[in-house]
Amino acid sequence: PRVPITAKLVADLLTVTGANRVVAVDLHAEQIQGFFSIPVDHLYTIPIFARYFNEMNLDNPVVISPDSGGANRARALAKRLNCGLAIGDKRRQANDDKTELLNIIGDVEDKTAILYDDIIDTGSSLIKIANVLSTKNVKNIYAACTHGVLSCSAVQNINNSNIEKLFITNTIPLSEEAAACPKIIQLSIAEMLAMAIKKIHTEESLSVLFT
């Protein structure tokens, strides 16, 4: 995925309007922090998802990144869940900007799949991977994404897919349709943000938020 230069514009606008520090949650690319001339605290929702999945006591889980670009993110969650990692193998078609999922790299057979990404828009990418996983003899398919954009017919697509549950956070408010969808579970990041704000104002280290 490519990060548009508008990220630099937003960084400049925040600085010009008087911001002297920024707290961000699961940036699409780590490099965005370099666009700012002021301190940036980059928070991750991995601990929140990990805590929830651990409480679910999933049977033989495996974390799956939709593509190689999200491998580090998925690896961090897999480490917290003490489970395996798999990656979707996508290739860009010749003379076309679209990508095609060719295969899943990693052992997923007879496991509980957790598709993990930073953002879900229309849901088409996750659903394509879920369809491939269905041919790999997985037990269950769950998805977890920090930012639930859920545009167009995303909610309907998720509802009609073989994804059992989609876990997202409240970085973006849910639409009425999404809130009513039985497959969508929203997890709150309020406690994490509150702790970050408190520690910033008391000039304490934010390192506890990354453990």
Q: Which residues are catalytic?
A: 90
Contacts 24+ apart (CB under 8 A), 100-109: 101/128, 101/129, 101/132, 103/132, 104/64, 104/129, 104/132, 104/133, 104/136, 106/62, 106/64, 107/62, 108/62, 108/64, 108/133, 108/136, 108/138, 109/136, 109/137, 109/138
106: left (phi over 0), alpha (psi -120 to 50) or beta: left
